[in-house]
Amino acid sequence: MRVLVAMSGGVDSSVVAGLMKEAGHEVIGATLQLYDHGAAVQKKGACCAGQDIHDARRVADILDIPHYVLDREARFRSAVIEDFADTYARGETPIPCVRCNQTVKFQDLVALADDLGCEALATGHYARRLDGPELHRAADPTRDQTYFLAMTTRAQLGRVRFPLGDMPDKATVRAAAARLGLPVAEKPDSQDICFVPAGHYAETVAKLRPETAEPGEIVDLEGRVLGTHRGIGRYTVGQGRGLGIGGGERLHVAAIDAPRRRIVVAPREALPGQEVIAGEVNWLAEPPAVPIRVQARLRGREPPRDATAHWNAAAGLLRLVLDEPNVVAPGQACVLYDGPRVLAGGFIRRAARAAA
């Protein structure tokens, strides 16, 4: 079949292009240029700009497949970068990779696949797609990316293929790249947030939303002032470093009061919440009419935790009751699993601390 392959310039997507051609498919490569090309040329560990576009083109030339570069800078800025800054301005913790997959990558690439008469879109994500369609965790749990793909719609999932989902580890992928003669076989993985230079996210946010860099008070749970901060854009819930509060027990960010520019801190044992409310919920399974038992992942690098999910269809809200309290950061994704299968994904709106 004719397949569009999303090529970021890294080893994963390059191997996907090679494997799909090796399997006899008619392959077309596409790379999205997502942010300023000039500023990204010297940035290492990025994707979708600068050197990575050149690497994708080199791989396409070696594989003898057509390759398109699509300028999506304006769309990426409005859908991902602006949302990133807005989320910090609300006192929440954004997760731009989920937004990028939800909007620019899958919406635009599926549309391009349609325009080019492609039956499928293949990407280098570590996940498995089963007929139905269903989204399942990758064979390699250390590489699994289903947390970042949970906002993909069922219609999009029906068109997408994840050829790396059954790969046992990254070494196998790099070996495949070497066998296919691809020059990116040893290229390092992308790191951090692609559009944030040198990891200085607070500076990026402050340029877009200057109010996030305005100073304010650091207070305890009773509202007593303990110190001052240099802007709410520098803090996330659960953070315990860089608070600038000396003496006594170590404190962590318990909440961010954006309207009053206050950082609320507390001992770590006071942070965990038992109930989570999530919105913008995307169901990849049939939405339940009654509460169901699930495993919930509240951060990308944390393991799923046992919980009970209550779906309010009328309000479009998911209420999650955790078996064990956990630190919950509004703005992050909340992904529900039934074993390896992804049931739904949404964005955390708020959380309640566990009862004393």
Known catalytic residues? Answer: 100, 194
Rounded to whole angstroms, the Cα distance separating 159 from 152 reads: 11
- The CA-atom distances, in angstroms, between 314 and each of 3, 141, 245, 279, 289 are 39, 35, 44, 12, 11
Pick from 106, 122, 141, 135: nearest CA to 16 = 122
Token pair recorded at residue 341: 């299968």
Rounded to whole angstroms, the Cα distance separating 112 from 130 reads: 23
Rounded to whole angstroms, the Cα distance separating 268 from 177 reads: 45
Contact 263, 216 (CB under 8 A): yes
